Structure 1
Amino acid sequence: MRMPRTFLHSSISLAILTLASQAHAQTDAAPAAQAQPADTSGASGVGQTGATRADAVQTELQQVVVTGVATSGGVRKLDSAFSITTATEEQLKQAAPSSTADILKLVPGVYAEATGGQSGANIEVRGFPSGSDSPFVSVQMMGNPIYPVPTLSFFEGSSAFRLDDTIERVEVLRGGPSTIFSNGQPGATMNFILKKGTDTPEGSIRFSTGTGELRRVDLFYGGKIAGDWYGTVGGFYRNTNGVRDAGFPADKGGQLTATLTRKLDGGEVTFYARRTDDKNAFYTGVPLISSNEGRTIGEFPGFDPLTGTLMSGEMRRFTVEAGPGRTLNYDLGDGRGLKATVLGVDFAQTVSGWNVSNKFNYFDGDLNTIAMFTGNNPLAMGAYNATALATHGGTRATATYLDGSPVSDSQQVVQAGLWAVEKQLQSFTDEIRVSREWMKDNTVTIGGYFANYSSDDVWYLGNSHLMTAVPNARLIDVRLNNGVIVSNGGKEGPVNYAPVASYDGSNTALFIANEWKINERIKIDGGIRRERQKLDATVSNLTTGDTDNNPLTVYNNGTSMPTGSNTALTRTDSANSFTIGGNYKLARDASIFARANTGHTFVAFDDLRNAGTQAQVNNRDFLPTPKIQQFEVGFKTATQLYSAYINYFQTKFDGISFQQLLADGTVLYSTSGSKGKGVEFELALRPLRDLTLTLTGNWQDSEYKDNPRTAGKDVQRQPQLQYRFTPSYRIPLGDNELKLYGTYTYIGDRWADQLNEQYLPSYKTVDLGAVFRLGEKIELRVNGTNLSNELGLTEGNSRLTTGGTGPINARPLFGRTWEASVMYRF
């Protein structure tokens, strides 16, 4: 991708010129008193101890959110006319998320399947139909998308972000005005706000240990540099074998983040940079026993579904036969990692009544996937041999381990692909806004959003291996007495899909929004957006062949490989979005709101590749531009005794295309719509001075429409009911304090597929934690998750089209885990 230099220069020139003019104005003069913008960063969280109920309520009443707001100054959360959930640094630590996606368990209306590890989550948003990944969740840092497309094959936005102590808070906006601003996400937007330096220097160092021999250190320091310059630096390094021990580190790597802030008259500019180099194991299904039409899930004999994984040291380093005489080596230890650089500028200033803001972001990273993907359900070795004989002839099959010892016919075995996907992503995004009160209490905002992005892909899918259905599986060789080699070194299937592709995309959007404060009680806002997207793809044409020209080695016959020629594909789309909403104050700290919007999603790179021909790419019935309509009404209030954020929503989807990739490389297509309605709630009760009881969750009724095969079926992967009850109790101990907290989570039953044939039962978990603070310097914390060792499924077998009873592959929750840390603040 070629980043447009004009946009790059213009995005930072305004900040540079302003810095120069500020420096000139202050030469030989005492600094004038500076008008401070609304506090969009808040306290860093360092040194906050002994918070009383009154302190907590006051903080909540004054909380400002910036996501989805037209002007850079933000708006008080209680006065916002949309659904937004916020979490401070302390709330994030109490939640003990296993990954970035797992943070979304704090957000009603969102269900994150975070059991794949640090990366590769599936995330569903209230009534939005999605089959995998996270097409309706955008991940932002400082108000700008890290990568402007929320999901691609083998990439979803949360995979490009790692949580550490440089994060001050997160804001998660659902629907609302997000269809107008930034990348126009109609679903959910996670916006991570970095800590900024303040006049008071502060720092921390935190050591953590836990399940899987976790060893982690987090560092942060921030403060004033000189004059009006402030800075921060921090990051982490971590090494762990994980809950599911594969015999090699599951997560290994680190991250470094820095910010540089310059205070301006009526504003500020912040430069930020982040470098991440992290390797993360990716977990897919494990063998289980399904009974009672999938309503009951039990342990597969000899396999602990809470801690086991099929991955093992024996298969860690595997080979891919990419073509005749071309063998590639890969390491499962590289997993689904992130090696990336993020650079950004966040500028906001008020000049002569004009509010000007510009957010720039540049991302360059490798997000490769070197992982195991389960295929068919478990079966006995004897049954596998019988099928091999029926397919390839012969009268006797011999199955051995790699050391030559025999495999019993009764041994349960599975087939799993060792896949290698190399993915290089690059993007540039820039959003500029100009706002002004053009008449009393009426502010207009005009802006533009520009994005250029690319993805260079090399895939090797299939590569099936035969292995025992036990934790840390052993590979199996199979030979027939007619000379046919069915499995060699465990490899029993060829690479069945090996495209090489380069993609480039660009988006240009213009928007205008207006906010009108009618009186002290009523405020309304609205906006429209016009966006154009252009995609170009160059995809290799494929053929199949025998990599060793030996028909008896059936494991590499029919290998997919590029022909040397390519197909060029292109697509251009345009769409409009709008929003209108309003807020009515019942009292100073209580209000009701209503919001309606229409939005859209565009086709993505993978849609072009899957279409295959320009004629299919141009077919708007085959590849439609989905349209989304949303409506919600809500109530917000906060008092010393309780807080309540409740809203009712309706969603309607038209024309969304689904693709499902099967174990043999086949891609299934379908197009449908959906409709849904539901209630989301965030409730808190403070009956005693140091006791808080919190209940969050949602109920929804969402189903497919427009497609005769799926109409009336429940939208896949989404529970009709989910909730989380979290009590916390603070015990003052003089200058010290002890805080106890826990969460009971209930996730209702779901369907893994559109046809509602793969049933996923409901499950419930219990988490507990405690934090002991010694004065203002030392903090000891311990968290335990899934303490009841609940066997709950987050995903069925996504590479099969039907459900089943008996042995299956599915992805369950992680078993009981614990983590302890000690932090020193300075």
Structure 2
Amino acid sequence: MKSQNPFLLSAVTAAVLTLVNQTAAQAQSAAPTEPVPSKEVAAEVQQVVVTGVASARGVRKVDSAFSITTATEEQLKQASPSSTADVMKLVPGVYAESTGGQSGANIEVRGFPSGSDSPFVSVQLMGNPIFPPPTLSFFEGSSAFRLDDTVERVEVLRGGPSTIWSNAQPGATMNFILKEGTDTPEGSVRFTTGTGSLRRVDMYYGGKISDGWYGSVGGFYRKTDGVRDAGFPADDGHQLTATLTRKLDDGKLTMYVRNTDDKNAFYTGVPLISSNGGHTISQFPGFNALTGTLMSGEMRNFTIEAAPGKTLNRDLADGRGLKATVFGADFDQKIGEWSVSNKFNRFDGDLNTNAMFTGNNPLSMNDYLNAAIASANGNAATVAAAGGKLATAGTATYVHGGAVDGSQQVVQAGLWSVAKKLTSFTDELRVSKDIGHGNTVTVGGYFADYSSHDVWYLGNSHLMTAVPQASLINVTLNNGVVVSKNGTDGNVFYAPVASYDGRNTAAFISDEWKVNDRIKIDFGMRHEQQKISGTISNLTSADTDNNPLTVYNNGTSMPDGSNTYLSRTDSANSFTIGGNYKLAKDTAVFVRANRGHTFISFDDLRGAGTQAKVNDRGILPTPKVSQYEIGFKTATQMYSAYINAFHTEFDGIAFSQVLADGRELHSISGSKGNGVEFELAVRPIENLQLALTGDYQKSEYRDNPDTAGKTVQRQPKLQFRFTPTYKIPFGDGNSAKLYATYTSIGERWADQANQQYLPSYRTIDAGVLFSLGDKIEVRLSGTNLNNELGLTEGNSRLTAGGTGPINARPLFGRTWEASVLYRF
């Protein structure tokens, strides 16, 4: 891996110098020398982005003074993302761990320290956050959005001016723009099949309703067994989206509504073999890590012993699903010398989790029995209930009959249930005016009101074989102790019921100064206040069957009928300043500095436990981040390049980790990072494009003696993707487009202490698109064609790695999809 770094960085440096020299030559030449751009290239050169700019009407991408990546509908389809989070593989400086399925991804932004979920990635629809907090426990923003053919494009802004707009995300903002009806009616239907018996249909139609009125409607229905076959459907759901647009004199109003009902299996770690200090990962005997999952039909419908006389039934097929409706509007109007923009939305949804979470590493049945005997004999209450008799042996049988061999490898995994009801309302108002001398001032405000109601049942450990579609195991000891019944070998160790409310208000002002035809400078400030509160049940523990010999349900966590009320108010200021200098018509350099923040979350209230700790800024600080960037942008018929160097400094972020036994670990750290992001494309001949995207960074923790100097967890120093695309015209509007992507992800650490090593990996994806005139498209694509066994996550229930049998989450194995689209 190290040997590649100098080569790649040298190549990027050479490319930048070449492009700058060519740009200077073009600026001095009066006569155009390039051929007429193709439709695709012309669209890229004139691409307008609306994310991160004061004007609702946007700015050309090559003229923007910040780092932003865009992807059209075709580019999204060509990337074959397995989920919304997987779209981030198109974005340099972002690493998405999307191997959990449609929901529950971990997304890391370069230089930003985060342990799980996606605290520094906000997901927007039509410029408004779908749910204002980007992450809560058992929720991350991409889980609230599903891709389909109603999406026109996505824009992903990293840092830059996002610290003053909308919900002020200092990391990355993923903004999905919906298709709207136009004067030309457009409709399509697409049928897709693929790995896991995928059956999917996407539909869309948009057009003119009457003078000034336009509409669109579309959605999808999908059902699949999944790449990792659990013996029951992994994904089963549908979505419907509609827009209504009213074109006004010098303005527009767009209203939209989206309803989603989608159930998605959630995948966690599988058994693997680690050797060579974690640098070598191989398959566990009898377990295909690329296609296997421990989940099975035998445990699909599981039971939770919640309290004496109270049992709950849950379905693993519900996974981490989404049942929600979002409604919103986007208004933009020019009134005399004033421009007015307002965006609002309302989100109401259930984002429940019924999923398996792996616990300790695999071990033999005999080793498990020995540990169970020692544990039972070491518990005085259990020994007393057994009449003082110590256990000397145990019996292990399958729940469906038959003895379990002592050499059989087994694992423990919790079947967790979390009910999560989320609601929110957000609104952002902007008013802009040209005050003369090239200055356009924008003032505005942001308001968000949001809530979460949670009912958790964590733990509920089950004993099972370490094989795909595992079998559950019962264990009894020879002194009458029942270690495992119907596979259940552990209690519910954490069962809070909580209701949270939050409210954010912000005011901002910015000025964009066009100094001359080449130079633009912008500056913005924001003041924001957050008020959050939570009512959290106090917990007690009890034996659900009042039998000390059934050790699997002793000490079950449950609410005791009383509650703790916690609240906190915070305020913070943010700013951004940037400048853009045009070297030529379609070439520019920019600089940017900003200072942003994040606020503590609902989960921080719960984790602190007392009002005194909530108020202690040493325990729960308000994290601050500073970013500095310098970048280069150009887009021509022959090549395009978007390159920026960055520096980040982070202060005071709190981390938490839930261990296999239910304990929570908490820490506070800062970080600093330096690096370079690049998006390069060369078109040496007609119909051929060679693209290279990625980033190199060095980010490490600081301010905490336990982690200072350690590499920021989960983030590779180097990642890049090389994508060649070649289009073969056949005449009469027919063509075939061939494309492939080689992805290289560098080594990472799964934990802050850098003890769980994650090796580098490389994958190959490829596809072909046949266009038969303007009406029919046939696409065949495949991902991870080389069946790379790459790890995206270690065992998040343990604090250190190890060798031998482990649990970890690898990439999905080779997958394929075939689709037919018809336009009308």
Q: Partners in 2 of 1:676 and 1:53 — Cα distance? A: 39
Which residue number in structure 2 is paired with residue 456 of structure 1? 453
Which residue number in structure 1 is paired with residue 805 of structure 2? 807
Return the letter of the residue paired with 2:797. R
Q: Partners in 1 of 2:545 and 2:47 — Cα distance? A: 66
Checking the alignment, whether the CA contact within 8 Å between 1:703 and 1:713 is kept in structure 2 is yes
3-state secondary structure, aligned to 1:445: strand
Report 1:652-667 matches (<5 A). 652-667=649-664
Which residue number in structure 1 is paired with residue 760 of structure 2? 762
**Alpha-carbon displacement from aligned partner over 1:18-72 (angstroms, at most 9, x marks no partner):** xxxxxxxxxxxxxxxxxxxxxxxxxxxxxxxxx9952222111111000000111
Q: Partners in 2 of 1:484 and 1:57 — Cα distance? A: 72
Instruction: Confirm whether residue 519 of structure 1 aligns to residue 503 of structure 2.
Output: no
Partner residue of 1:311 out of 276, 280, 295: 295
Checking the alignment, whether the CA contact within 8 Å between 1:381 and 1:411 is kept in structure 2 is yes
Q: Partners in 1 of 2:688 and 2:576 — Cα distance? A: 39
Using the TM superposition, give the Cα deviation of residue 764 of structure 1 relative to its aligned residue in structure 2, in angstroms.
0.1
Aligned residues: 776
**Alpha-carbon displacement from aligned partner over 1:673-732 (angstroms, at most 9, x marks no partner):** 000010000000000101000000000000000000100000000000000000000000
Checking the alignment, whether the CA contact within 8 Å between 1:453 and 1:505 is kept in structure 2 is yes
Partner residue of 2:587 out of 590, 600, 621: 590
Return the letter of the residue paired with 1:307. T
3-state secondary structure, aligned to 1:607: helix
Using the TM superposition, give the Cα deviation of residue 155 of structure 1 relative to its aligned residue in structure 2, in angstroms.
0.1
Checking the alignment, whether the CA contact within 8 Å between 1:646 and 1:680 is kept in structure 2 is yes
Partner residue of 1:644 out of 599, 620, 641: 641
Instruction: Confirm whether residue 163 of structure 1 aligns to residue 153 of structure 2.
Output: no
**Alpha-carbon displacement from aligned partner over 1:92-137 (angstroms, at most 9, x marks no partner):** 0000000000000000000000000000000000110000000000
Which residue number in structure 2 is paired with residue 43 of structure 1? none
Which residue number in structure 1 is paired with residue 100 of structure 2? 116
Instruction: Confirm whether residue 753 of structure 1 aligns to residue 737 of structure 2.
Output: no
Q: Partners in 2 of 1:204 and 1:671 — Cα distance? A: 51
Checking the alignment, whether the CA contact within 8 Å between 2:574 and 2:596 is kept in structure 1 is yes
3-state secondary structure, aligned to 1:207: strand
**Alpha-carbon displacement from aligned partner over 1:368-388 (angstroms, at most 9, x marks no partner):** 000000000000000000111
Partner residue of 2:596 out of 581, 596, 599: 599
Q: Which runs of 4+ in 1 moved over 4 A?
A: none
Checking the alignment, whether the CA contact within 8 Å between 2:41 and 2:636 is kept in structure 1 is yes
Q: Partners in 2 of 1:323 and 1:236 — Cα distance? A: 40
Q: Partners in 1 of 2:795 and 2:245 — Cα distance? A: 48
Q: Partners in 1 of 2:57 and 2:192 — Cα distance? A: 36
Checking the alignment, whether the CA contact within 8 Å between 1:53 and 1:689 is kept in structure 2 is no
Checking the alignment, whether the CA contact within 8 Å between 1:510 and 1:530 is kept in structure 2 is yes
Checking the alignment, whether the CA contact within 8 Å between 1:208 and 1:216 is kept in structure 2 is yes
**Alpha-carbon displacement from aligned partner over 1:309-357 (angstroms, at most 9, x marks no partner):** 0000000000001100000000001000000000000000101011000
3-state secondary structure, aligned to 2:75: helix
Which residue number in structure 2 is paired with residue 378 of structure 1? 362
Return the letter of the residue paired with 1:264. L
Report 1:95-106 matches (<5 A). 95-106=79-90
Partner residue of 2:113 out of 94, 113, 129: 129
Checking the alignment, whether the CA contact within 8 Å between 1:177 and 1:597 is kept in structure 2 is yes
Checking the alignment, whether the CA contact within 8 Å between 2:689 and 2:726 is kept in structure 1 is yes
Report 1:690-701 matches (<5 A). 690-701=687-698
Using the TM superposition, give the Cα deviation of residue 441 of structure 1 relative to its aligned residue in structure 2, in angstroms.
1.6
Instruction: Confirm whether residue 410 of structure 1 aligns to residue 407 of structure 2.
Output: yes
Instruction: Confirm whether residue 568 of structure 1 aligns to residue 565 of structure 2.
Output: yes
Q: Partners in 1 of 2:36 and 2:442 — Cα distance? A: 39
Checking the alignment, whether the CA contact within 8 Å between 1:52 and 1:689 is kept in structure 2 is no
Q: Partners in 2 of 1:664 and 1:181 — Cα distance? A: 41
Partner residue of 1:390 out of 355, 366, 374: 374
Using the TM superposition, give the Cα deviation of residue 389 of structure 1 relative to its aligned residue in structure 2, in angstroms.
1.1
Which residue number in structure 2 is paired with residue 500 of structure 1? 497
Return the letter of the residue paired with 2:442. T
Instruction: Confirm whether residue 207 of structure 1 aligns to residue 191 of structure 2.
Output: yes
Partner residue of 1:242 out of 210, 220, 226: 226
Checking the alignment, whether the CA contact within 8 Å between 1:527 and 1:579 is kept in structure 2 is yes
3-state secondary structure, aligned to 2:38: helix
TM-score, length basis structure 1? 0.94
Checking the alignment, whether the CA contact within 8 Å between 2:229 and 2:291 is kept in structure 1 is yes
Q: Partners in 1 of 2:566 and 2:671 — Cα distance? A: 29
Which residue number in structure 2 is paired with residue 620 of structure 1? 617
Using the TM superposition, give the Cα deviation of residue 404 of structure 1 relative to its aligned residue in structure 2, in angstroms.
2.4
Instruction: Confirm whether residue 369 of structure 1 aligns to residue 353 of structure 2.
Output: yes
Q: Partners in 2 of 1:52 and 1:370 — Cα distance? A: 55
**Alpha-carbon displacement from aligned partner over 1:178-201 (angstroms, at most 9, x marks no partner):** 000000000000000000000000
Using the TM superposition, give the Cα deviation of residue 403 of structure 1 relative to its aligned residue in structure 2, in angstroms.
2.1
Instruction: Confirm whether residue 483 of structure 1 aligns to residue 480 of structure 2.
Output: yes
Instruction: Confirm whether residue 63 of structure 1 aligns to residue 63 of structure 2.
Output: no
3-state secondary structure, aligned to 2:51: coil
Checking the alignment, whether the CA contact within 8 Å between 1:727 and 1:742 is kept in structure 2 is yes
Q: Partners in 1 of 2:526 and 2:109 — Cα distance? A: 22
Q: Partners in 2 of 1:210 and 1:252 — Cα distance? A: 15
Unmatched 5+ residue regions in structure 2? 1-34, 378-390
Return the letter of the residue paired with 1:133. D
Checking the alignment, whether the CA contact within 8 Å between 1:84 and 1:174 is kept in structure 2 is yes
Report 1:144-183 matches (<5 A). 144-183=128-167
3-state secondary structure, aligned to 2:801: coil
Which residue number in structure 1 is paired with residue 817 of structure 2? 819
Q: Partners in 1 of 2:697 and 2:477 — Cα distance? A: 54
Which residue number in structure 1 is paired with residue 728 of structure 2? 731
Partner residue of 2:181 out of 197, 212, 235: 197
Checking the alignment, whether the CA contact within 8 Å between 2:36 and 2:637 is kept in structure 1 is no
TM-score, length basis structure 2? 0.94
Q: Partners in 2 of 1:818 and 1:642 — Cα distance? A: 31
Instruction: Confirm whether residue 581 of structure 1 aligns to residue 589 of structure 2.
Output: no
Which residue number in structure 2 is paired with residue 322 of structure 1? 306
Checking the alignment, whether the CA contact within 8 Å between 2:236 and 2:264 is kept in structure 1 is yes
Using the TM superposition, give the Cα deviation of residue 808 of structure 1 relative to its aligned residue in structure 2, in angstroms.
0.2
Q: Partners in 2 of 1:634 and 1:398 — Cα distance? A: 66
Which residue number in structure 2 is paired with residue 631 of structure 1? 628
Checking the alignment, whether the CA contact within 8 Å between 2:126 and 2:330 is kept in structure 1 is yes
Which residue number in structure 2 is paired with residue 793 of structure 1? 791
Checking the alignment, whether the CA contact within 8 Å between 2:590 and 2:632 is kept in structure 1 is yes
**Alpha-carbon displacement from aligned partner over 1:391-412 (angstroms, at most 9, x marks no partner):** 2131110000012200000000
Return the letter of the residue paired with 1:620. R
Which residue number in structure 2 is paired with residue 531 of structure 1? 528
Instruction: Confirm whether residue 221 of structure 1 aligns to residue 219 of structure 2.
Output: no
Q: Partners in 2 of 1:817 and 1:802 — Cα distance? A: 32
Partner residue of 2:706 out of 694, 706, 709: 709
Partner residue of 2:740 out of 742, 745, 757: 742
Return the letter of the residue paired with 1:411. Q
Return the letter of the residue paired with 2:820. V
**Alpha-carbon displacement from aligned partner over 1:454-492 (angstroms, at most 9, x marks no partner):** 000000000000000000000000001111000000000
Q: Partners in 2 of 1:680 and 1:152 — Cα distance? A: 29
Q: Partners in 2 of 1:743 and 1:788 — Cα distance? A: 12
3-state secondary structure, aligned to 2:661: coil
Q: Percent identity among equivalent residues?
A: 75
Return the letter of the residue paired with 1:73. R
Instruction: Confirm whether residue 356 of structure 1 aligns to residue 340 of structure 2.
Output: yes
3-state secondary structure, aligned to 1:687: coil
Q: Partners in 2 of 1:281 and 1:53 — Cα distance? A: 45
Q: Partners in 2 of 1:273 and 1:441 — Cα distance? A: 38
**Alpha-carbon displacement from aligned partner over 1:171-227 (angstroms, at most 9, x marks no partner):** 000000000000000000000000000000010000000000000000000000001
Return the letter of the residue paired with 1:604. S
3-state secondary structure, aligned to 2:684: strand
Q: Partners in 2 of 1:532 and 1:690 — Cα distance? A: 52
